[in-house]
Amino acid sequence: MPSKEDRLKAVPLFSHCSKRELEFVASRVDEVSLPAGKTLLVQGQPTDTFYIVLDGEVEVSVDGRPLKRLGAGDFFGEIGMLDRGLATATVTTTQPAQTLALSHAQFRDAIKGNDALVLQVMAAMAQRLRENATQLV
């Protein structure tokens, strides 16, 4: 089985990180196995976890409308990690999924000393917000 560092390196968000940075993030991330049908984020509710999908699939919906499905290498929950705000979408597993999860404190620790990672997260968040805005029109 690949190490947490290897799994993180395979995720585009972390692909540029050095070995030391990957080890640092890996030391703060939890491996979580989830059953199908598990709701992880609820639109309009506080969020406290950032997820990286390693295997399986989740569905993202807004106002009850499915927007997209995310799979291996995708992540979600970053918006709530940055602003401590409410979830902008509901995310539910569509099949059993393996994820890496970071609490707000773990996420803050992981990005605190890594400006490049902060910029990657912000760029991904901006792209996701733009995509969601165009899909809702």
Q: Would residue 137 count as lying in a domain?
A: no
Q: How many domains does the chain have?
A: 1
Sequence-separated (6 or more) residues with CB below 8 Å from residue 78:
50, 121, 124, 125, 128
List the CATH number of the domain containing 36.
Answer: 2.60.120.10
CA angle 105-109-115, nearest 5°?
A: 135
Q: What is the pLDDT of residues 71-87, one digit of tens each?
A: 998 889 887 877 778 89
Q: What is the pTM of this model?
A: 0.83
Q: How far apart are CA 58 and CA 68, in angstroms?
A: 9
H or E element at residue 124: helix 115-136
Q: What is the pLDDT of residues 88-123, one digit of tens each?
A: 899 999 999 999 998 888 887 777 777 777 777 777
100 lies in which domain range? 4-131
